[in-house]
Structure 1
Amino acid sequence: MAHEEDPLEHERASWKPSPGLAVAVTDPVHTPEVPPHRERVTDKDPEAMKRAVRTVYTLFYLSVAASIWAIAAYMLFPIEDGSLVSIRDNNLFIGIGIALALLAIGIATIHWSKAIMSDKEFIEPRHATRGRDSTRAAAYHAFDDANEESGFGRRAMVRNSLIAALAASILPGLTLFRGLAPQDVDPVAELSHTMWKEGTRLARDPEGTPILASEVTLGSAFHVIPEDLAELGHAEGYLEQKAKAIVLLMRLLPEQLVPGENKMDWTYDGIVAYSKVCTHVGCPVALYEQQTHHLLCPCHQSQFDVSRGAAVVFGPAARPLPQLPITVDDEGYLVAQSDFTEPVGPSFWERH
């Protein structure tokens, strides 16, 4: 029987790769070359470089002037009278000063990087690991090179004006802190007295509706103000009085409460009332977790245990929340037995 020839075998034997295909398979991949460096005007013309340097430090000093203006505007346009015109002028002129100060810093920094700092391209090979002495020395040299290329250590006017602008930009913010608290006021005396007094009914915030003890269900929480404060309306001093007198009211099972010393009769049938003003920096403590009986301050996460006299269980608060002694009147409404027996709010005054 004759052997039949495979028609594909001849093709396989005669096949040879094309030259183009061989090049594509065997040639290594080449790293693209760095494009040729394009010199800037400031690289070619020393006068242009001087103008760029003058522009940068002029902008930095303009930032300093704007920061000083913001401080001056705080004093030139006071808002003690509380009128809309004075508030508008105060916000407008202080805002213009702060905005111009920060804008000048930003523009100057960008112009510095684009026109003055070295912009030559280079390739930095990767290193597998680091930790050798030579590597550490190379890092030090990198900082030196960065200093040389940026001109930070060499261009005194640019460096000094930048430092002055950054330092001055902080001053308006520090100046504005002056208005956060009254001047020439004893904080202990100011925070030791609120609108709560014996017989004052606890009212819902903000409507001012008195609260019946029967309305406070197990696990509930009420935001509370003195009824007298609600009657005051939004007259002068309303916000200041409310900031000190706000209270959070909760109800637990009476057996879950662990009253502190001399506070055995400060609650009514498991109902307790604590100041809402955090003893850390004064944020409103308004988040109540009824399963753990914890109150949470949302600003810095201080936590207080309602069942144990609002003792601090977590966070930076320095002392428990002040407790408001409460009872009920003849009509069943919750009333205060007295004012708080300790200052409310932040405990910074204790450092004295």
Structure 2
Amino acid sequence: MSTHDNTPALVDDAQDRFANPGLPPHVPRRADVDESAANRASVQVVALFTLSALASIAFLVAYFVIDPELRGSIIGIGEVNLFHVVLGLTMGVSLLGIGLGAVHWAKTLMPDEEMVEQRHSLRSSDEDRQEVARQLSYGWRGSQLNRRTAILGSAGGALGLFALPLVVPVVAGLGPRPRDELYTTNWEPGLRLMIDPSGAPIRAADVTQGSVFHVMPEGWVGDEAFEVHGAEEAMASKSKDQVILVKLDPSIINSQKQRDWGYEGIVAYSKVCTHVGCPVALYEQQTHHLLCPCHQSTFDMTEDCKVIFGPAKRPLPQLPISVDDEGYLVAIDGFREPIGPSFFERERPGLLMEDES
């Protein structure tokens, strides 16, 4: 007799030898029989939930009270942004209090007695079970996988490795890890401001009231940039080094830093919007506003390019400029803060120069 013909007998024999043990007897917990223990557990749960609520309140207070630029040192970690540390700790305590409170509540106070819902038997008839077993056995033997194990192993390997062509392009497509591009540009002390795309230098004496120039650093504009630095570096420069130069009436400039970093009312600012990086290239001469065409962020040039409308959260960085011995506009230094869209940590030691006042 074949093996599958004995299946019903084996199942029936197993059912006879292994009776349903049923549920174990319920063991009362201390809180179930001692009211004072139940009260203590209740107080503990309330304390955990209260701790969570207090941590949530502390998170909100810290968000509005602590200076986002506040920094400090933590033993074993080093210099960190304390604003982010406090927010992380308070949020973590808030979530921990909720989790521990819920678990303690469930394990000490909620009913823990197991319940059984009686259901009808789902067992198929003996004829159906035998037919399914026969077909499975026939299919297994017909595939010869029981005799040719190499097929089974190679098929498993092929199916397992099939995922690699799907995963590798995604992972590789993420590109290299960010480098200093998040913080630095090609602007350096002494580089002339060159008109984009002609590459002509700009004399301060030739800049009239209300004039607007789109400029790039010397050596990084026009065909020269592609020939000297290559297409990739030239395009990268175009995306991060672009600057807008405007001459304002010095009497309407309200920021002393803006006057000090400009030259006789001529000021230069990064064109890379601090929202998502679109070029801020629209200047309104009557209002002295710079507009980003992508999402309508608006910056006031008389207030050090402060954001006055739109989703951008940070002013455009100013490029410190002066003139050289021949009267051409040059950069005093590079940008003293990262340009472009804001991200979680914008400061880097040594990038922001100390206040010279």
TM-score if structure 1 supplies the norm length? Answer: 0.47
Greater relative CO, 1 or 2 (CA 8 Å, sep 6+): 1
TM-score if structure 2 supplies the norm length? Answer: 0.47
